[in-house]
A and B are shown apart, each in its own frame.
Chain A
Amino acid sequence: MRDIPSYNEILPHLFRREYAKMTAVLCSRFGLQHIEVAEDIASDTFLKASENWAIDGVPENPEAWLYAVAKNKARDYLKRIAFFETEVRETVKLKGPDDAGQDFDFDDQTISDSQLAMIFAVCNSVNSVESQICLALQILCGFSVEEIANAFLTKTETMKKRLQRARTNLRNDSFQIKPLSEAEIKSRLDIVLKTLYLLFNEGYFSKTNNRLIRKELCSEAVRLALILTENSLTDTSQTNALLALMCFQSSRLDARIDGSGETVLFDKQDKSLWDRSLIERANYYLVSATNGNEISKYHLEAGIAYWHTASADENKWQHILQLYNQLILIEYSPVAALNRTFAFAKVYGHEKAIVEAEKLNLTGNNHYHELLGYLYADINIEKAVNQYEQAIRLTKSKMEKQTLQKEINRLKGDNRI
């Protein structure tokens, strides 16, 4: 017989999942200006749950219990402010005369609509992209300040201040959380997709070695992207391409990080650890993304990720190079320039790639020296070692320093033979 989970097992999980939903629904009612009220009600609800469930045990349907409590608390709140002249009351009044009598709905449609509106509220260019990601983690994903600080390797106090600043900016921008017009969605979807893309990358190429945090960042980004596909206005070709990219990358998450948190290079990954079902889902979204004529950077990156999972094709690297060619023409980035050169080496050999690489002018970028070290390894050991040593000096990651040092030792060992 299965053990009934005790309340302190089930609560953190539920909290993470339902807190963001609850806040979103409450917020779409109170307005973004009063997000703190919404968050207070959500927090109170979970506090009450932890007290009651400790004594009475977990109810049969915990979600329904939580939403019933939240509804009552929200109703109490509206009744209370009806007696006092407050700024909040004015806001609520504006929403229509019979508003206070209207019930709070926590049905699936309302939750999904509210979450979508919330995503658009948080992904706002009044804040830096990094602040947007932090806000998304807090407001959309229910992460604690400590967890976010951990993911970004910053002090909790610093993160707290950054989040407060970002919230103030949102409030001052007076962006209305509801209703989202078609024009608004169209003009802001780019920023939303970019934030989700960066949120995913934060997990995938994380600064932290904590495997659990990394996986959660990735899966939260996927979850939010899925919400976008549920609404016909946001279910665009780019959204599907982004989702395909995330699924392709996620399929390799387990193979990409070894037991000690070290990154395993693509060539050395155990392919049996790739998640086949995620690859299938990725293929599905990639097909959905190619319905139109549009080719965005998400399409190209998803295409590159697709070819990486297609192991046997002899023209694989040629395809990957062509996709990188297109990608770099859409948007320059040092990462894309380096990856393109790597693909170039796979197609045209290391000697020609060195010529391409040395034109890149990325001296001071540790990955640049790492790439040159790799390209020189079979041609000129002395130069290769020199490049790897520069990379070691430049990188801040301990793990990377170790990996590079191993490579140097291997090269020097070969030299003696």
Chain B
Amino acid sequence: MKEFVLIFRLKDISDFKPSPEQMQERMNWLAGIAAQNKLADRGNTLLPVEGSAKTVKPGNLVTDGPYTEIKEFISGYVVVKAENIDDAVEMAKANPIYKIGGNIEVREVLKRD
């Protein structure tokens, strides 16, 4: 089994705080993966709000938030176990994030020995 990070991206900051229904859908999705024993790490939510997000650039330039130059921002990640990237993509497809215009980037983890 390989490990893949699923990186969640949202477009609109107002979508960041989920409704109870959205929360339930996300939990169902996450627990569905755990029920297959394929969850390597339940990951974390990454706060995009003021005071919790800064970007550091060359020349000690610090800007607020992740969203000054890119339209999308990363809202969180989880790590799953899968035979190959296609299996990981199948898991990502079942996530409810697309309903609110988000997307998921799937990346294989290169394990350091």
User: Which residues of A are at the interface with B, using a C-beta cutoff of 8 A?
Assistant: 318, 321-322, 324-326, 328-329, 332, 336-337, 340-341, 344, 356, 359-361
Contact = CB atoms under 8 A, between A and B. Distances in A.
B42 interface: yes
A359 B30 contact: no
B32 A356 contact: yes
Contact of B28 (A337, A344, A359, A360): A344
Nearest to A327: B31
B35 interface: yes
B36 interface: yes
Interface in B31-75: 31-32, 34-37, 39, 42
A88 to B, nearest CB: 50
Contact of B36 (A322, A326, A361): A361
10 contacts: A321-B28, A324-B31, A325-B31, A329-B30, A332-B35, A336-B35, A337-B35, A359-B35, A360-B35, A361-B37
B37 A337 contact: yes
Contacts of B109: none
B41 to A, nearest CB: 11
Given A329-B34, A359-B36, 17 more contacts: A325-B30, A325-B31, A326-B27, A326-B31, A328-B31, A328-B35, A329-B39, A329-B42, A336-B35, A337-B35, A337-B36, A340-B35, A344-B28, A356-B32, A359-B32, A361-B36, A361-B37
B27 A325 contact: yes
Contact of A322 (B24, B34, B35, B42): B24
Interface residues of B, number: 12
Contacts of A328: 31, 34-35
Contacts of B39: 329, 332
A341 B35 contact: yes
Nearest to B29: A325
A344 B24 CA distance: 12
A325 B28 contact: yes
Nearest to B36: A359
Nearest to B90: A359
Nearest to A348: B28
A-B residue pairs, 7 tightest by C-beta: A325-B31, A337-B35, A328-B34, A325-B27, A332-B37, A328-B31, A329-B34
A6 to B, nearest CB: 56
A337 B38 CA distance: 12
A336 B34 CA distance: 10
Contacts of B32: 356, 359
A386 to B, nearest CB: 22
A332 B24 CA distance: 19
A258 B11 CA distance: 58
Contacts of A325: 27-28, 30-31
B31 A340 contact: yes
A353 to B, nearest CB: 11
Contacts of B31: 324-326, 328-329, 340
A328 B42 CA distance: 11
A344 to B, nearest CB: 7
Q: Which of A321, A328, A336, A340 gathers the greatest number of chain B CB atoms within 10 Å?
A: A328
A360 B34 contact: no
A335 to B, nearest CB: 11
Q: Which of B27, B34, B35, B42 gathers the greatest number of chain A CB atoms within 10 Å?
A: B35
Contacts of A344: 28
Nearest to A359: B36
Contacts of A324: 31
Contact of A332 (B27, B30, B34): B34
A340 B28 CA distance: 10
Nearest to A328: B34
Contacts of A359: 32, 35-36
Contact of B27 (A322, A337, A356): A322
A328 B28 CA distance: 11
A328 B33 CA distance: 9
Contacts of A321: 28
B26 to A, nearest CB: 10
Contacts of B37: 332, 337, 361
Nearest to B23: A322
A128 B34 CA distance: 26
